Amino acid sequence: MWTNGTTAVASLRIFQHLQHCCVQSLRRSKAERWQRRFGTSSSGPPWRLLFFGSDEFAVESLKLLSSSRSSSKGIVETLEVVTLSSDVPVKRFAQQNHLPVQSWPPENVDGQFDVGVVVSFGRLLHERLINKFPYGILNVHPSLLPRWRGPAPIFHTIMHGDAVTGVTIMQIHPHRFDVGPILNQELHPVPEKCTADELGAALATKGAHLLIDTLTTLSQRLVQKREQGEKGATFAPKINMSMSWMVWEEQTCDQIDRLYRAIGSQIPLRTIWMGRTIKLLDFVGRCHISLSVPGSLSYQKHCNTLAICCKDGWVGFKAVLLKKRLTACPSSVRLRTNSCTEHCWFGITAGLTFFI
């Protein structure tokens, strides 16, 4: 029992000081155990690093890691690369910059590296491989985890109209993608009307710099890492052709706009014309025409645009792709909807581009 208030306060401060010292001691002991277990003599940079990647998004991180080998900060000591095939941007960059390249799965990893980095690699890493890296394997993921776990977070960010996204540096766990503890995270506002390609380029640059920042203080960040919760978790599956079909009576102008900005550069939007598939190209946004039956068409001669009626308005396209060229004459057009097939007449002029 405390004899007075002063003694109680002093004793509490001593206890807090001892508690802080114990925590720091435990953190140092953990790092030392890693060093003894894996035979590494350093608890900080420069790191011996193995990079796993494939596409242009991954190249941005690899570029910064490569340049860090000769920087005064000394973040990277050695750098090697693992790729899935010969025809990917990461392998081309590695060869052009004389980086050692290994095929998948990598061999001779034991004792060769301190930490691994995965960026847009597309393969689940086995626990045996992860355990060969004293400081684990990091992943640069272009979303604010746990939102948009999975292979296509940028596309789903645009498709669902997110106003804010970001980049997460997490530690890879075996068995499941994108569920490991978070080491670093940074927000990024989504610019209005930006495409998935534009957003991807911005996040690739931000992710590369966030990776360097994480590697600079990696030991400390590993101690302070936080586990992901399931609250707010969403999944971002790969994009595919089934996402590109128009359902005119269900989709709004804004939904079509977001869909085009998300996948249009890789998968054209599609609809049915006279029983045949056509691809809708060069989207121009909402057209100001009186509302009609979804699936109806109207050629806007003053702006050289083919307008199509959807759930809440009209959207326009400058070109469509067909198997044969359309002539400049009135045509009977049918656009398939879920409930029925709508008919209308419209004039096609030479100004509207059709491709064979």
Residue 132 DSSP symbol: T
Choosing from 223, 258, 275, the residue where a domain stops is 223
Total Cβ atoms within 10 A of residue 8? 12
Which pair of tokens denotes residue 169? Answer: 């540096």
Nearest Cα to 204, choosing from 97, 83, 64?
64
Looking at residue 323, its pLDDT comes to 63
- Measured between alpha carbons, how far is 279 from 300 in angstroms, rounded to an integer? 19
182/53 same-domain check: yes
Choosing from 173, 188, 223, the residue where a domain stops is 223
Q: Is residue 8 part of a domain?
A: no
Each residue's pLDDT expressed in tens, for the chain with a length of 356 residues: 333 444 443 443 444 444 444 433 443 444 444 443 444 445 688 999 999 999 999 999 999 999 988 776 789 999 999 998 878 999 999 999 999 999 999 988 999 999 999 999 989 999 999 999 999 999 999 999 999 999 999 999 999 999 999 999 999 999 899 999 999 999 999 999 999 999 999 999 999 999 999 999 999 999 999 999 999 999 999 999 999 999 999 999 999 999 999 999 999 999 988 888 999 999 999 999 988 899 999 988 888 899 999 999 999 999 888 764 342 233 434 444 443 333 333 333 333 444 33
Looking at residue 327, its pLDDT comes to 29
Choosing from 190, 223, 256, the residue where a domain stops is 223
313/164 same-domain check: no
- pLDDT tens-digit map of 59-89: 999 999 999 887 767 899 999 999 988 789 9
216/278 same-domain check: no
Provide the CATH number for the domain around residue 283.
3.10.25.10
Per the structure, the complete domain to which residue 266 belongs is given by 241-355
213/293 same-domain check: no
Asked whether the CA dihedral 61, 185, 48, 136 is positive or negative, the reply is negative
- Measured between alpha carbons, how far is 298 from 305 in angstroms, rounded to an integer? 8
Number of domains in the chain: 2
72/174 same-domain check: yes
Looking at residue 29, its pLDDT comes to 46
61/122 same-domain check: yes
Residues 80, 61 contacting (CB under 8 angstroms): no
Q: Is residue 340 part of a domain?
A: yes
Q: Is residue 120 part of a domain?
A: yes
